[in-house]
A and B are shown apart, each in its own frame.
Chain A
């Protein structure tokens, strides 16, 4: 281990050994999350890894429990994106060579709860669970076409879903903190469930002094 990493590890140990966190109940906070999403299960056959962004507003009900609302947006390309196809154009009855553009987007709005444990110094690890309404949208378009085509459109459906995972946050100063979060989302669709694993960096802002 290099000297630099030894120093980083030492600093982290000192932070962990610091007195217990001073975070109190009645703390309110807005959190922004950006990161990656990876489809899992059957959905991984349909969508590639993509990006996600979220915004949540939460309130620390007790020293160990916080709850709030969140909105998250997920976007990824389909596994058929960029495929070259020779499709039968229904409006003319002729074959048209196209390059397919395929996208999946999900939006989620719901409630969540975080249970904090083993808080040391500025570090606050937590487990998180949530539930909400997910809107799934699938779209097809053409990025290249040899002739005019009506290929393109979108289908959409909303379903209930749930998420669970955990993370850690590091209080920087006052009511501002940064962190890392991993969540697993399951959307209860009719035929097959849609599963996503998300990893994100978080930045949280709240009134100083909470």
Chain B
């Protein structure tokens, strides 16, 4: 792990720990009934910013991302949320790997003690991915799904500060002059849906040693500020 990533991780940990240590004191004086923000009908408007990265054996160091969203509790402790993010997953020189997920998620929230509101959930949606300034730019929408978890801390009346972690799975682009990926001459599944029709024969498409994964995991760890009402 290089120094930049260590610094980012340390900074995020420091912020999270500071929040965890100081927030209960704020929460105690907030006057908010305990857990009322998790009641059915409660709504949260959120903005978030932090670290974002794409997985891969050869992948650029992570960079930054931000986004905003809205959650509504359809049941006590169960929320449906809609989020839009813009994540710069990393750069090789001037070439950039960018992801813009537009997603819907379902989260289960709970409360630990007076001032910690952890949650876990799943989501999915359309991920607009773009390889930019590579010499052979690619872009397009792909379906993606993700697991999300985190925790929120009330900092004053109707305000929460928290940390959101997201692990999304989306299809990779083929190899690019700047970014590695599956070889461009590998079979495409959409072509196989046509080419495999017909009886078995040595001329049918055969996969020799095609074991490199065609999906990648997009990670993000972001600080989130929410207004609840």
Contacts and interface: CB of A to CB of B under 8 A. Distances in A.
B5 interface: no
A157 interface: yes
Interface stretch (B14-22, B54-62, B157-165, B200-208): B200-208
A150 B78 CA distance: 49
Contacts of A194: 193
A33 B115 CA distance: 39
Interface string A98-112: 001000000001110
B208 A192 contact: no
B191 A134 contact: no
B104 interface: yes
Contact of A154 (B74, B190, B194, B211): B211
A151 interface: yes
B193 A42 contact: yes
Contacts of B143: 132-135, 158-160
Contacts of A137: 189
Interface centre among B104, B170, B206, B209 (most CB of A within 10 A): B206
B207 A151 contact: yes
B196 A80 contact: yes
B200 A154 contact: no
Contacts of A43: 193
A170 interface: no
B171 A156 contact: yes
B193 A192 contact: yes
A86 B188 contact: no
A190 B190 contact: yes
B189 A138 contact: yes
Nearest to A80: B200
Contacts of B215: 135, 156, 158
Given A69-B106, A157-B188, A151 B208 contact: yes
Contacts of B206: 87, 140, 151
B10 interface: no
B144 A85 contact: no
Contacts of A134: 143
A154 B206 CA distance: 10
A155 B197 contact: no
A132 B207 CA distance: 28
B211 A153 contact: yes
Nearest to B215: A156
A154 B210 contact: yes
Contact of B145 (A42, A133, A136, A138): A133
Contacts of B124: 109-110, 132-133
A74 to B, nearest CB: 15
A153 B208 contact: yes
Interface in B120-140: 122, 124-126
Contacts of A90: 208
Interface of A: 26, 28, 42-43, 45-46, 57, 59, 61, 69, 78, 80, 83, 85-91, 100, 109-111, 132-140, 150-160, 189-192, 194
16 contacts: A26-B75, A45-B198, A46-B193, A61-B74, A80-B199, A133-B125, A135-B143, A136-B189, A139-B207, A140-B206, A152-B208, A152-B209, A153-B209, A153-B210, A155-B210, A189-B190
Interface of B: 74-75, 78, 104, 106, 122, 124-126, 142-145, 170-171, 186-194, 196-202, 204, 206-211, 213-215
Closest 10 CB pairs of A and B: A153-B210, A133-B143, A83-B200, A153-B207, A157-B189, A190-B190, A80-B200, A150-B209, A155-B189, A158-B143
